[in-house]
Amino acid sequence: MEEKRRISAPERILAALPFLALLVPLSVWLSFPWYAQAIIDRALKGKPFHVRISGVGIPGPSGVGFRRLDVSFTAPADSCVSSPTAYRISISGGKLGWSIRNPEGKTDPALFQADLRLDADSLRLNPDPAQYIFHDSRPKIDMRLEIRRRNGLSMEFMPSSIAYAIDSATVTREKLSLSGISYRILLTRSLNWQQPPDTLRIARLYSDGNPSPVGNFRALFGSKRDPLKPCKLLLSNCSVALFAMQADSDAIEYDLKDQSTRFTLRLAEIPLDSLPWFRSPVQPLRATGKLSGSIPIEFRDSTVLVRNAILAGEREAQIVYLDKREKRLFSIDLGEESKSKNILNNLNATIVLNSRNNNQAGIGVEHLSTLLFGGTLEMSPLLFDPLKSEYSLSLEMKDIRLLDRLRYHDAPNSAFKGAISGTIPLTYGKKGLVPGNLRLSSTASFSGIPVQSIPGMSSNRPKQPFADGSISGTLPIEYANSSLRITNGTIAATKGSALFFYDKENRKLFSVDLGTPKSNLLKKLNASATIKPADRKPRQFVLNALSATALDGNVQVSPFTFSLEDFDSGIPFSVKLDNVNIPERFRLHGDFKASLKGAMSGTLPVTVNRNGFAISNARLHSTGGGTISVTPTMPERTATERIFGAPTQDAHYTFSAPDLRFSRRMNGSTDIDFSLKELQRKTAGGELKLLLPKGSLSLWSDTKRPDVVTLRNFSAGFFDGTVEIERVDYDMEKKTASTTLKLNNIPLQKLLDLQGTKKVYATGTIGGSIPVTMTDQIIEINDGAMNAESNGQIIYATSPEERAAANQGLRTTYEALSNFLYVELLSSISMAPDGKSLITIRLKGNNPEFQSGRPVELNLNVEQNLLDLMRSLTIPTNVEQIISEKALKSGR
Amino acid sequence: MIGSFVRTTAAKTIIILMLSVAAAIPAFALDLATARSQGLAGEVDNGLLGIPPGAASDAEGLVVTINNQRRAEYAKIAAQNNLSLDVVGAMMFEKIYVRLPAGTWVQVKGQWKKKGG
């Protein structure tokens, strides 16, 4: 208002016209939009600024709006910048507000102070030659002017300060963009228009619309230069987030002349647990410890060169893989305790910002190579496929010794070794980062893994471990085309490695020795498995092959396919054993000892599900055999007792050619059909041989009576005849059983031979059934019967001297028995629990040479304690004596 | 010295007894000879008779009867000389064997074969 009055004041000619006095300011006011540009031109005359304004509104009392304001100015070339740069600032939808007042403590009446405030919808800054576009929405710029009225109409504008707080601005350079830029520009005349230091913040760098791993940049800088380095822009207290890790640099000097810089980013004590990869609630990956590193960077010509960057883990830095119960399972040691101190060193990379290569746009990584865990990692040049609109690259790995740092927490003494080599192709497009057809190979070796820590081998009773010892081995692994292949792997077990099986009272029952101090437990381990389809669920796992040389034989698993869902219903596969030397490794504990020989062969069809495993119609057989010895512990005996006392209770069972067919259901119920070529029982008292014993055993089949073992359809060759048991239920806890032994076709001579006499000869066979009841290992026989199956001959041979010495009755018996042709032989046997037994034998027949062959009937009763007989299975030698003393009963 | 004397005496006695057994056998000689010549019966190296493989069972009764007799005789010899029946039978087989015509079935150590010419 004051200004308008001052403009109209010199028109003294028309001063008398009051209406004109009103009209002129009005017309000036109304025509402001048309001459605003002229005012600006005049005000900026001789200044290096060009301002174009359009769409100017009619000014209000404290401001004026405009549609667009273009300011252009040229920064001249100087010693730092070789060519001048033109800048154009476009402000649209702006409103310029002002307030004019006399400055405080005013001494000069011609001096005014104007505060201008520019609000706009947007501000753009375009340099020429085009390097970038700066864009800020809703900018607010404050400018203070000193206005001095000189003679007449002429006025001098003296800017005293400009303040522009940039907030959330962006800088775009073709496909690169920096977003979330903030910086407070404050230029004052009092500071000679030098920008005081302020913190520049850049929230994130985008490449082609995608966020890059670089963000959260901060640096403190102002416009004041070091007079010794006039062309260096100095940024201090710099920090940037690289892959979520905060990197710092105390100072970055940017050479304005060369447009280059060289500095080192420092990664100091970055807590690994602060990184987002180790904080996921769904991924079981955690990390502890801290990382440090340094990244020397050179920047020139839009190219970032990383030279010899280093990343090192501090002591106890680890990446941890947790199990389902959040317990540490595996970890990768990143700390300095490892042999090679650095995780990563000699990292070199060439990163082109705003690459104009046809194959890439935005940030292009042209080259990346590094030493990683003692090996090398190299990235191939990035390629762009215009048809698929995606980038591709591949990472080449060589001898990356990741396994050296692997720790298995269930086995603190375990160690791993191995280098990984291979190729990881990656594509980056609409679907994000997708790994392609991985090709990885490694020869992994491990040692000190306790057998107990292998899944399925752990025992919840620490005093009764299921397994002992530890394994080591080497597995050459290759992964390609979604297939995992192990070729010629070996696994060895330390001395003393064994699997244990316990009885009900937790006593060791038997064990299988796995120790292979000299040779390997598994050799030529070959396996091949495929996951398919790789991109769709449910995924199927195909085991194409699994075979190994184990204990001098071969083990082979049939190919099978399964998905994880199949664990509910069951996954069937079969294991084939060919001449595997398990029997030699079989050990019995307690009063038992086993010495077995020969290799096992057979097939085990197995079904595994979540609840356990089942075996259906497995068959295992061996051409070998062995001896199982039972040596009950006896109190210490003196030499005299050993010679004249009862014989030891030791029994040795020798068997050969076992052939087993067995099935196990998920509930543990097990049926075993067995046959042996021969089973021999040897005791101090004598031998018992069973030929081709076979039968069926059922274990744990009755859930109500889990201690009952049922033997069915047992038969064996016994002294050229057979012994059979139709069924016996043996209660392992009560040690009770009750059954009937059926004997058939037993040659009488064989039974007589057992007594060791040379005087009794017999032909013919006997058969019968013997009911046996066992209560707590005490045997009782109740009314067993053994009868001759056909006619035969019994000869009791006596010398003439014996006959001469005998009395009349006995001589008659001798004579009758010198060639007795029996037509009936009946015997019965009973034995009380204390071993007292009674055997009665009734013979009917004749001797053709005795009393003209008249029919004769003989009755013999044998009373004795049969326990010794049962133990030794020999007929006592006093039978002769008994026969001698029995009276002859004539059947006349 | 005494042992060898006993053995020599025993051997002499056995030979005498064997001759008497051999003399007793001819009572069935016709039948046995026929059975043996027809391949229905053969001599076993335990001094008893057996049925050769594949032969008809026509001679079974004869074989059982003769074997019972032989066993009784052998048992007597065995008892008198404190020997086992098997040993006496084996010695008897050797005596019988030399007198068998060629072509007669004999079983030695479990193997049946025809006596050579």
Cα angle value A33/A34/A38 (rounded, 5°)? 105
Classified as helix, coil or strand, A8 is: helix
Give the pair of three-digit tokens for residue A564.
């994880």
Q: Which helix (H) or strand (E) holds A751?
A: helix A748-753
**Mean pLDDT in consecutive groups of 10 residues from the start of chain A, 892 residues:** 42 51 68 79 76 85 88 81 85 89 71 88 87 90 85 75 91 86 91 89 84 86 83 89 86 86 88 79 82 89 88 84 84 70 83 63 77 88 75 88 86 88 85 81 90 68 74 91 89 85 74 76 89 70 89 88 81 90 80 83 88 86 85 62 57 87 86 90 75 90 83 91 92 86 89 69 91 84 90 87 83 86 91 82 89 86 63 43 42 33
Distance from B16 to chain A by nearest Cα, in Å? 16
CB-CB neighbors (< 8 A) of A819 in chain B: 68-69, 71-72, 75
Q: What is the pLDDT of residue A119?
A: 92
CB-CB neighbors (< 8 A) of B79 in chain A: 759, 797-799, 802
Distance from B79 to chain A by nearest Cα, in Å? 5
Contact B79 A797 (CB under 8 A): yes
What does the alpha-carbon distance between residue A880 and residue A490 come to, in Å, rounded to a whole number? 66
Preferred mutation among A750, A755, A793 to probe B, highest tally of B CBs within 10 A: A793
User: In terms of Cα–Cα distance, which of A626, A616, A610 is closest to A575?
Assistant: A616
Tokens 């259906």 belong to A616
**A764 to chain B: nearest residue by CA?**
B64
Contact B71 A821 (CB under 8 A): no
- pLDDT tens profile A194-219: 889 999 999 988 877 777 778 899 99
Preferred mutation among A753, A765, A795 to probe B, highest tally of B CBs within 10 A: A795
The total of other beta-carbon atoms located within 10 Å of residue B41's CB is 26
Contact A793 B71 (CB under 8 A): yes
CB proximity A850 to B under 8 Å: no
Q: Is B89's pLDDT higher than 90?
A: yes
CB-CB neighbors (< 8 A) of A763 in chain B: 67-68, 71
User: In terms of Cα–Cα distance, which of A72, A177, A67 is closest to A122?
Assistant: A67
**B74 to chain A: nearest residue by CA?**
A797
What does A809-823 look like in DSSP terms, one character per residue? Answer: HHHHHHHHHTTEEEE
Distance from B72 to chain A by nearest Cα, in Å? 5
**B86 to chain A: nearest residue by CA?**
A758
Contact B85 A758 (CB under 8 A): yes
Preferred mutation among B14, B44, B63, B68 to probe A, highest tally of A CBs within 10 A: B68
**B68 to chain A: nearest residue by CA?**
A793
CB-CB neighbors (< 8 A) of A849 in chain B: 72
Note whether A837 and A866 are within 8 A (CB): yes
Contact B72 A799 (CB under 8 A): no
| Distance (Å) of CA B45 to CA A52, A269, A440, B49, B108 | 139, 99, 76, 9, 5
Note whether B78 and A798 are within 8 A (CB): no
From the list A763, A795, A821, the residue facing B75 with the nearest CB is A795
What does the alpha-carbon distance between residue A742 and residue A715 come to, in Å, rounded to a whole number? 9
Q: Is B117's pLDDT higher than 90?
A: no
**Cα-to-chain-centroid distance, residue A829:** 66
Predicted complex: ipTM over 0.85: no
Q: What confidence category does residue B16 fall into, taking pLDDT thresholds of 50, 70 and 90?
A: low
What does the alpha-carbon distance between residue A821 and residue A856 come to, in Å, rounded to a whole number? 10
Q: What is the pLDDT of residue A879?
A: 47
A524 φ/ψ sector (left φ>0, alpha ψ -120 to 50, else beta):
left
The total of other beta-carbon atoms located within 10 Å of residue A493's CB is 24
Cβ-in-10-Å burial (0-12, 13-18, 19+) of A190 comes to exposed
Q: What is the pLDDT of residue A220?
A: 92
The two beta strands, A439-450 and A420-429, are antiparallel
What does the alpha-carbon distance between residue A812 and residue A829 come to, in Å, rounded to a whole number? 27
Contact B72 A802 (CB under 8 A): no
From the list B72, B79, B80, the residue facing A819 with the nearest CB is B72
Give the pair of three-digit tokens for residue A67.
């549609």
Helices (H), A325-390: none
E strands, A807-882, are 820-831, 836-846, 855-865
CB proximity B115 to A under 8 Å: no
Helices (H), A765-807: 800-805
Give the pair of three-digit tokens for residue A707.
């201690």
What φ, ψ does residue A44 adopt, rounded to 5°?
Answer: -95, 10
Q: Give every CB contact of residue B93 below 8 A, 6+ residues apart in sequence.
A: B43, B44, B45, B46, B47
User: In terms of Cα–Cα distance, which of B78, B87, B99 is closest to B32?
Assistant: B99
Preferred mutation among A748, A752, A758 to probe B, highest tally of B CBs within 10 A: A758
What does the alpha-carbon distance between residue A556 and residue A575 come to, in Å, rounded to a whole number? 6
What does the alpha-carbon distance between residue A350 and residue A298 come to, in Å, rounded to a whole number? 10
User: In terms of Cα–Cα distance, which of A553, A558, A531, A554 is closest to A542?
Assistant: A531
Give the pair of three-digit tokens for residue A704.
């109500």
Note whether A9 and A1 are within 8 A (CB): no
Amino acid type, A63 = G
CB-CB neighbors (< 8 A) of A821 in chain B: 68
DSSP code of residue B26: G
Distance from B116 to chain A by nearest Cα, in Å? 31
What does the alpha-carbon distance between residue A227 and residue A448 come to, in Å, rounded to a whole number? 66
Classified as helix, coil or strand, B76 is: helix
CB proximity A804 to B under 8 Å: no
Q: What is the pLDDT of residue A817?
A: 86
Q: Give every CB contact of residue A285 below 8 A, 6+ residues apart in sequence.
A: A277, A278, A319, A320, A321, A322
What φ, ψ does residue A414 adopt, rounded to 5°?
Answer: -80, 155
Give the pair of three-digit tokens for residue B58.
């026509």
Note whether A436 and A416 are within 8 A (CB): no
- A67-93 in b/e form (b: 16+ CB < 10 A) is eebebbbeeeeeeeeeeeeeebbbbbe
Contact B68 A849 (CB under 8 A): no
The total of other beta-carbon atoms located within 10 Å of residue A56's CB is 21
Amino acid type, A636 = E
**B78 to chain A: nearest residue by CA?**
A797
Three-state SS string over A496-533 comes to CCEEEEECCCCCEEEEEECCCCCCCCEEEEEEEEEEEC
Distance from A742 to chain B by nearest Cα, in Å? 28
CB proximity B10 to A under 8 Å: no
What does the alpha-carbon distance between residue A581 and residue A501 come to, in Å, rounded to a whole number? 19
Amino acid type, A305 = L
Distance from B77 to chain A by nearest Cα, in Å? 8
What φ, ψ does residue A703 adopt, rounded to 5°?
Answer: -65, -25
| Distance (Å) of CA A745 to CA A386, A741, A760 | 92, 13, 19
From the list A763, A798, A849, the residue facing B79 with the nearest CB is A798
CB proximity B82 to A under 8 Å: yes
Contact B78 A763 (CB under 8 A): no
From the list A759, A800, A819, the residue facing B68 with the nearest CB is A819
Note whether A414 and A454 are within 8 A (CB): no
A193 φ/ψ sector (left φ>0, alpha ψ -120 to 50, else beta):
left
Q: Give every CB contact of residue A342 below 8 A, 6+ residues apart in sequence.
A: A310, A311, A312, A371
Q: What is the pLDDT of residue B108?
A: 93
Q: What is the pLDDT of residue A886?
A: 44
Distance from B93 to chain A by nearest Cα, in Å? 18
Contact A821 B72 (CB under 8 A): no
What does the alpha-carbon distance between residue A68 and residue A50 come to, in Å, rounded to a whole number? 14
Is omega for the bond preceding A538 within 30 degrees of 0, making it cis?
yes
Q: What is the pLDDT of residue A356?
A: 58
What does the alpha-carbon distance between residue B114 and residue A103 come to, in Å, rounded to a whole number? 152
**A756 to chain B: nearest residue by CA?**
B84
> Is the overall model pTM greater than 0.80, yes or no?
no
Contact B83 A758 (CB under 8 A): yes
Q: What is the pLDDT of residue A207?
A: 78
Helices (H), A414-573: 566-569
Give rounded-to-5 percent helix, strand, coil for chain A. Answer: 10, 60, 30
- Which residues lie across from A300 on neighbouring strands? A260, A303
Q: What is the pLDDT of residue A504?
A: 65
What does the alpha-carbon distance between residue A112 and residue A104 come to, in Å, rounded to a whole number? 10
Contact B80 A818 (CB under 8 A): no
Q: Work out the angle between the directed axes of helices B85-99 and B60-81 (0-180°, nearest 10).
A: 120
